[in-house]
Chain A
Amino acid sequence: MSAFLEVKNLSVVFPTDDGRVQAVDSLSFSVEKGKTLGIVGESGSGKSVTSLAILGLQKGTRAEVTGEIWVDGKEIVSATESEVRKLRGKAMSMIFQDALAALHPYYTVGHQIAEAYLVHNNVSKKQAFARAIEMLDRVGIPEPQKRVNDYPHQFSGGMRQRAMIAMALSCNPSLLIADEPTTALDVTVQAQILELLRDLQKEFGTAIILITHDLGVVAETADDILLMYAGKQIEYGTVRDVLQVPQHPYAWGLLTSIPRLTGDPNLPLTAIQGAPPSMISVPSGCAFHPRCNYVEKADVCATRVPELVAIESGKSHSVRCHMDSELRQRIFSTQVKPQL
C-alpha cells in the first residue's frame, strides 16, 4: 500500500551571502492516513523547513528544493504554484506554534475560518460562515455562534490554537502538519490540545506530522519518530523503537538529559556537551561528532557522512551512525538503558 504522504530524498538549500545553507539534507519518510509522524529536533535542525517544503511554501523564494514529495498521488516539488495551491488547505493544511501571530489581527476568527473553506468549496459566504461555527463547535469553543465574531486577540492562548485547528481542518484535509502546536501553551492547555488532535484524527483519519522538540509530546501523540540533527534524519522508527531502544548517541543524549518526573532527582542529568551547530557551519562528516561521547573512529566520524542503515532488515528502525551495531548494543544496554 502506498502511503498518503511519501517524501523521497528531500533537500532544501538556501543560497545566502555566507554561502549555501543546506537546511534539509536527503530526507525520506512516509506517513499513512490516520497515523502521526513526530519530527523531532532542536532549533536549526531543519524540521520546520521540511514542513514548509511539503506545503510547497518555498516556491517563489530563493530556496532550492529537490527530491520528491508525493501527497495523495501528486508530486509537489515539480508542481507549479497554482497546482500546489489547490492542495493547500484542502488536501493538506498546517497549524503553527504562535497562533496569535499566525492569525490576521484585523479579521474575526469566523471570517478567517470561512475564508479557508470558501477557497476550496463552491459555497456562499453564509454557508462558509455556518461551517466556521460548526468547526469552532467541533474543536470545543464554547458559544461558537457568539465567539465566531471575536477577533484573535479576544481569545485565550488555548482557544486561539483551537481556532487554528478549526481553520486547518475546515476542508477535511487528509494531511495536517502541526509545527510546535503546543510549545507556547501551558501544560494543562497543551494536554487539552493534544487530546483534541488525537480525537479529530480518530474521527477524520487525518495523517498528522507533528513537529516538536518535546520528546514527551511525541511519546503521547506519535506513531513514528523522525529524529533530525543539522538537516539530516539521524534516526527513524516507531515511537517505541526510538524512545525505548534508541540507537543514535544523539538520541541517547537527549533521552538521558531531559528532566523527568520519575527516577532519582538528586542524580545530575547527563547533559550533551556543546551546542547544536548553526546552519551556516555544519561540522564535516557526522554533524554530531564534535558533541558525541562515543566517537570511536575519530577520522571516519569527522570526515565521512554515515549512511542511514536499517537496524534489522525489513524493519523501519534505521540510524545514521558509524558505530558498529554490536558495540552500539553493548553501550546502549550498559550505559544508556539504566538511565532511561
Chain B
Amino acid sequence: MSELDSPILSVRGLTKHFPGGRQGFFGKHEIVQAVDGISFDVSQGEALGLVGESGCGKSTTGRLITRLLEPTAGTVVFEGQDISHFSNTQMRPIRSDLQMIFQDPYASLNPRHTVGTIVSTPFRINKITPEGGVKKRVQEILEIVGLNPEHYNRYPHEFSGGQRQRIGIARALALRPKLIVADEPVSALDVSIQAQIINLMKDLQKDFGLTFVFIAHDLAVVRHFAQRVAVMYLGNIVEIADRDTLYATPKHPYTKALLSAVPEADPDAVGARERIRLTGDVPNPINPPSGCRFRTRCWKAAEICATQPPALIQIGTSQVACHFPE
C-alpha cells in the first residue's frame, strides 16, 4: 500500500460510551467506555484485522464503522465523506458500499425468509434492479459463494452452519460493496468448516478487490486473512502493524502475551515456546485502570504507566501504545 493512496476508510479519535446502570438513588448513570479514542486507516483492497479479547471494543468498532451505532466522539470518514453523524436517510446511498457479516449465521438470518428473499433484500431496500433481474443476480451471487443457485427457494434451517454463513456473505455481497466488516465470521463454525469460509472470503477479496475489516478473537485466523492487524485492549488500540511484523516481533507486551497464549496443535511447539502467563481477567470497562489500561496485568508496569496513558507511537513499521515497548 503506498502512502499516496487516500484510504477508503479513515477513523480518528473514535469513541463510544454506553450508559450503564445507575449508581444509588440519585446517582449518575455509569458509563461503559466501550471504545475510547481509536484511530486507524484502511486502504483500498486491504484486509485489516481487529483482534482482542472480550470487552476490548472490537465489535463496537465494527458497528461504528458501518454506522449501526453512532459514535459519542471522533470521526468515521468513508471515501472522503464524514459519515459519523449521518442520519438513516443520509446513510442510505452509502449502505450499499458498506456491508457487514455477522458471527452467528443462525441468528442473523430470518428463519421465515427463503435464501432468495434474504439475499435479494438489499436490492429491494435500495430499490435497485440489477441487469437481468434480481433473481438472476442473486443466483449468480449464490454460485460465487459456493452455494447451489437452485437453493434459491430454500429456508435457512435447511442449511448447515457453514452454508448459512455463506448465505450471510452472499447477502453482504449483493450490492457489490466496497468495504465489508466481518465480525467473528468463523468463530461459531466447526473447525473443519472455518477454513472453507476463510478461503472463500480471501478469494472474494482478491477477485472483487474488496476491502475488509476482519474482527476476530482468534489470532491464528486473523493471521490467515488480514494483511495488517490492530490489537485492541479495553477500548484502545495498543498496537497496529503489518501482519508479518506483528506476528514475528510484537512490540506491545499485551500482543506478546496474547500470541504466547494461543495453543498450538504441535506437541513439539508446546515446550519450545516462550510462555507469558497474564494474571487475572480483563478489567471492567466501566472503571478502566488509569494511565495505561493494560498496566494491571502487565509485568513491565511502572509508575508512569498508572499516571500517563501511552500514545500510539511509530517504532519501525509498527505503531505501539506502550511506555516500555519491546
Contact = CB atoms under 8 A, between A and B. Distances in A.
Direct contact between A and B in the complex (CB less than 8 angstroms)?
A: yes
Interface of A: 42-43, 156-159, 186-192, 194-195, 213-220, 239-240, 243-244, 253-255, 257-262, 265, 268-273, 275-276, 291, 340
B277 A195 contact: yes
Contacts of A189: 53, 281
Contacts of A244: 266-268
B162 A259 contact: no
B27 interface: no
B202 interface: yes
Interface in B150-196: 160-163, 190-196
Contact of A186 (B53, B198, B202, B275): B53
B270 interface: yes
Contact of B195 (A194, A240, A270): A270
Does more than half of chain A's interface fall in helix, strand or loop, or is it mixed?
A: helix
12 contacts: A157-B54, A187-B262, A191-B263, A215-B191, A244-B268, A257-B191, A257-B195, A265-B243, A269-B195, A272-B196, A273-B196, A276-B190
Interface in B194-252: 194-196, 198-199, 202, 217-221, 223-224, 243, 247
Contact of B192 (A188, A220, A260, A271): A271
Contacts of B217: 186-187
The 7 closest A-B pairs by CB, nearest first: A216-B263, A271-B195, A215-B265, A257-B195, A186-B53, A269-B195, A275-B160
B278 interface: yes
A219 B267 contact: yes
Nearest to A195: B277
B259 A259 contact: no
B301 interface: no
Interface string B48-64: 00000110000000000
Which of A188, A192, A268, A273 neighbours the largest number of chain B CB atoms within 10 Å of its CB? A188
Does more than half of chain B's interface fall in helix, strand or loop, or is it mixed?
A: helix
B257 interface: yes
A215 B192 CA distance: 11
Nearest to B224: A259
Which of B218, B219, B267, B277 neighbours the largest number of chain A CB atoms within 10 Å of its CB? B267
A268 B267 contact: no
B134 interface: no
B261 interface: yes
A255 B265 contact: yes
Interface in B43-96: 53-54
Contact of A42 (B190, B199, B223, B243): B190
A195 B282 CA distance: 18
B258 interface: yes
B282 to A, nearest CB: 7
Contacts of B260: 191
A192 B278 CA distance: 8
Contacts of A190: 261, 263
Given A187-B261, A219-B264, A219-B266, A257 B194 contact: yes
A243 B269 CA distance: 12
Nearest to A192: B277
B219 A265 contact: no
A216 B270 CA distance: 9
Contacts of A156: 281-282
B190 to A, nearest CB: 4
A276 B160 CA distance: 9
Contacts of B268: 244
A265 B224 CA distance: 5
Interface string B257-301: 111111111111110000101111110000000000000000000
Contact of B278 (A188, A215, A255, A270): A188
A244 B202 CA distance: 28
